Homo-oligomer: A and B are copies of this chain.
């Protein structure tokens, strides 16, 4: 869809739709996918999309399996990538609110299809695994 492969000449039997975009762009997109197609990133995007602005501890409660380290790390990276904002309130005890930016929101929407797919195909995958393991 987005990748290229700059073949030379061949008439080729198929695979004739996209192709020949700048390999530099290709590499950057792939790097970005590698960054963004991360389990925790996807899950946090989803949490923000569903629950709106949240503070640190609340997020941790909504995602019980994430370690505090990974939560901090993922939030920091998402902030750096422009997905979320981080607002520190000067109160005691401290309060930090995280919220999606429009950019993060748009990515969340792009991932929406994957969530729908997962919910819809859960049982199919389950059965495929059973079939495979039965061999």
Interface, chain A (partner B; CB < 8 A): 1-3, 5, 14-15, 17-18, 25, 28-30, 32-34, 36-39, 42-43, 46-47, 49-52, 62, 65, 79-82, 103, 106-119, 121-122, 124-125, 127-129, 131-133
Q: In the complex the two chains form, is A43's CB within 8 Å of B33's CB? A: yes
Provide a sorted-by-A list of 23 A–B residue pairs whose CB atoms are within 8 angstroms.
Answer: A1-B50, A5-B62, A25-B119, A25-B122, A28-B122, A29-B118, A29-B119, A32-B122, A32-B125, A33-B42, A36-B114, A36-B118, A37-B37, A37-B39, A37-B114, A38-B39, A81-B125, A82-B124, A103-B124, A103-B125, A106-B121, A110-B113, A113-B113
Q: In the complex the two chains form, is B3's CB within 8 Å of A46's CB? A: yes
Chain B's nearest CB lies how many Å from the CB of A65?
8
Chain B's nearest CB lies how many Å from the CB of A129?
6
Q: Provided the pairs A37-B37, A46-B3, A125-B81 are in contact, do residues A114 and B117 lie with their beta carbons within 8 angstroms?
A: no
